[in-house]
Every structure is written in C-alpha cells, then in structure tokens.
Amino acid sequence: MESLTPLSRALCERPVRELAAALLGQRLVRRERGGSLTVGRIVEAEAYDGPAGDDSAHSHRGETPRCATMFGPAGHAYVYATQGRCCCVNVSAGAGKAVLLRALEPLDGLARMRRRRLARLGDGPTRRRLQSPGGAHELAMGPGRLCLSLAIDRALDGVDLCDPTSPLLLAAGEPVDPAEIVWTPRIGLNPRLASHGWPWRAFVAGSRAVSPPRG
DNA sequence: CTCACGATCAGCT
DNA sequence: GCTGATCGTGAGG
C-alpha cells in the first residue's frame, strides 16, 4: 500500500515549467467509493502558461465556464472532455496556468485499470497488447488513456489534489533527478501546439510509459 | 441558434 | 501515416 503524503499547495504555485518537472515521479492517486486505490507514477507532463503568452492554452482568451478551474487556486484538478470520448486532467497552477498529465507508470490497481481500458476496446491489436504480460506499461500511456484507467471524468473537475481525502489527489513519490528529465516541444495533432518551439513537455528518460510522438 | 473545431484514440495501410 | 468516431465548447449571427 502506498503512503498518502499529499503534495503541498506551495509546490503547485511554482512557475508551470518548474511544476511540470516537479510532478514527474510523484503519484496520482484515485480513491473510489469503498476505498480502493488506483495509483500511477507521473512520467510525462506538459506545461501551459496561461493567457499571457500561450495561445494554445484553453485559458488563452480568458476565463470561460469550461476552464474556470484554471483560474482558481493552484493544486486543483482541471478536467475537460475531448471528442466526447475521453477526458484529460491537468494540475491547476493559478492565473490560467496548468500542467497536463500525459502519462503514468501503473503502480497499484492494475486489474482495475486494465478492466476499464478493455471495456472501451473492440477485438483489435490494442486489446491483445493490454492483455499480454508485458502490456501493463501501456495502460495509462497518453492523457486520455490515463483518465480512462483511473476513471477520471468531468465530475472530478475542481477537486483539490492537495487534500488527502479527495477522490483524486497527488501524493509524494520519488522526485526525478533533473538529469533524467527530457524536455521537448509539445506533441499532438494540432501543429499550433508545437509552433512555439518551447520545450514544455517534460518526461522521464527511459520510461516505457511515455506516449510516443505522433504525426 | 448554428457551426467549425479539437491538449484524442483505435484500427488499418 | 491516415481516417472515422463522436460531441462538448466557444464564437459569431
């Protein structure tokens, strides 16, 4: 059983790129009714710098109902729906800034994670990979898959990730040595997201759970 | 009200 | 590397 020392609010109030780096190695913990815990180690994170200088942030035109959590206190979960299929979860960092959690290395509750992923899959190669013994690292590889594995949806938007009693929280793991952190431009289908040339995507070198670049 | 568009995923070529 | 699924969101009339 993982210990549940929550991450401090002060950490989440640091500049977003520092926060993205500091989140690597920490735990994302999902506590469901009945007390079951699903836990992953954060291995990939992406910083969004808010309305001032970041056109690709959801907050780039100011506060809207969808992204209101980004303008609330730091350390809360900003969860939004994408394509109606799945959600993505961010750690709010105040003033419209946030860090998107892109990938976890599964630690606890692997059976629950696999069950929830398989429930969404047809009879294709992905199903067979996830069922194979070496397939566990793929369970939460990618921002949408991460949320599917941990049963994160819009109902969790706004929960306090620094509160040890929350259904979703950040807990202390092992910080990652800065030398092990790789920075790259953002990835995704929208070329605009990488157009800044900013190396704002941080991931743990060598992690098998890091989502591969696309396009 | 209408409409264009994704911070994605899965499956196939 | 390319396409379809599928729908919330936000901008504009």
Strand C: list protein residues with Cβ under 7 Å.
Answer: A 58, 61, 64-67, 80-81, 83-85, 154, 215
Q: What pLDDT band is residue A41 in, cutting at 50, 70 and 90?
A: very high
Whether the predicted pLDDT of A38 surpasses 90: yes
Mean pLDDT, residues A61-89: 93
> Worst-scoring range by mean pLDDT, A28-37, A163-172, A179-188?
A179-188
Protein CA at A89 to nucleotide C1' at B11, angstroms: 25
pLDDT at position A197 is 65
Mean pLDDT, residues A101-116: 97
Question: Which nucleotides of chain B are near protein (any atom < 7 Å from a CB)?
Answer: 6-12
pLDDT at position A193 is 63
- Torsion over CA: A159, A163, A164, A170 (sign): positive
Q: What pLDDT band is residue A107 in, cutting at 50, 70 and 90?
A: very high
Whether the predicted pLDDT of A1 surpasses 60: no
Question: Which nucleotides of chain C are near protein (any atom < 7 Å from a CB)?
Answer: 1, 5-11
Residue A116 in tokens = 């929830």
Q: What pLDDT band is residue A14 in, cutting at 50, 70 and 90?
A: very high
pLDDT at position A54 is 85
Q: What pLDDT band is residue A55 in, cutting at 50, 70 and 90?
A: confident
Protein CA at A215 to nucleotide C1' at C3, angstroms: 13
Reduced to 3 states (helix: H, G, I; strand: E, B; else coil), residue A204 is: strand
Q: What pLDDT band is residue A194 in, cutting at 50, 70 and 90?
A: low
Amino acid residing at A167:
P
Residue A11 in tokens = 């950490």
Residues 6+ apart with CB under 8 A from A137: A105, A106, A208, A209
Whether the predicted pLDDT of A206 surpasses 60: yes
Percent of chain A with pLDDT over 90: 81
Query: Nearest residue to nucleotide C9 when comparing alpha carbons to its C1'?
Result: A66
Are residues A50 and A95 in contact, defined by beta-carbon separation less than 8 angstroms?
yes
**What is the pLDDT of chain A when averaged over all its residues?**
92
Protein CA at A59 to nucleotide C1' at C8, angstroms: 16
